[in-house]
């Protein structure tokens, strides 16, 4: 098995004992990203749409560090603090994909890191 740690300086540094992503046998497993602004480590403010854009931009930077883009994503998991946010998050999220969308689940959870409203993780494949 080949395994490589992927970290981007253009995405927030991990806030715990994990890496931004692991590339293993052609699959990229990206840890959940929350709306932290890289460089400042401050949370994105201004509503769920801005927060979701920040999460997607953070995910995009990790993908780019692995030589990939959103077209390589095959699975996502979206975690929300409240399902009432679903439509707004879905609208922003959908704008980052074209053509075939990845498989996905959306889950409401009791709490997320730093009390944010949204966290998204992804699985991408190196070769399409």
- The pLDDT confidence band at residue 1, using thresholds 50, 70 and 90, is confident
Q: Which fold has domain 3-125?
A: 60s Ribosomal Protein L30; Chain: A; (3.30.1330)
Full 3-state SS string of 55-119: HHHHHHHHHHHCCCCHHHEEEEEEEECCHHHHHHHHHHHHCCCCCCCCEEEEEECCCCHHHCCEE
Q: Give whole-number Cα distances, 17 to 14, 21, 37, 64, in Å.
A: 7, 12, 19, 22
Angle of CA points 92, 53, 98, to nearest 5° = 50
pLDDT at residue 118 greater than cutoff 90: yes
- Mean pLDDT, the chain, whole residue set: 95
Distance CA 34, CA 116 (A): 7
CB 60 within 8 A of CB 53: no
pTM: 0.95
pLDDT at residue 9 greater than cutoff 90: yes
Position 15 scores a pLDDT of: 82
Distance CA 29, CA 122 (A): 6
E-state strands within 7-49: 21-24, 27-33, 36-37, 42-43
Domain ranges, ordered by start, for the chain: 3-125
Summarize pLDDT for 49-72 with one digit per residue, the tens: 999 999 999 999 999 999 999 999
């Amino acid at each position: 098995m080949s395994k490589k740690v992927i970290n981007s300086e253009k995405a927030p540094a991990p806030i715990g004992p994990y890496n931004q992503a692991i590339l293993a046998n052609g699959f990229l497993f990206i840890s959940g990203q929350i709306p932290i602004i890289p460089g400042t480590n401050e949370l994105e403010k201004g509503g769920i749409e801005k927060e979701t854009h920040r999460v997607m931009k953070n995910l995009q930077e990790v993908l780019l560090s692995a030589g990939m883009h959103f077209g390589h994503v095959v699975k996502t998991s979206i975690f929300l603090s409240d399902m009432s946010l679903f439509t707004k998050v879905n609208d922003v999220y959908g704008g980052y994909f074209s053509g075939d969308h990845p498989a996905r689940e959306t889950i409401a959870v009791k709490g997320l890191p730093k009390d944010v409203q949204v966290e998204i993780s992804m699985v991408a494949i190196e070769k399409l």
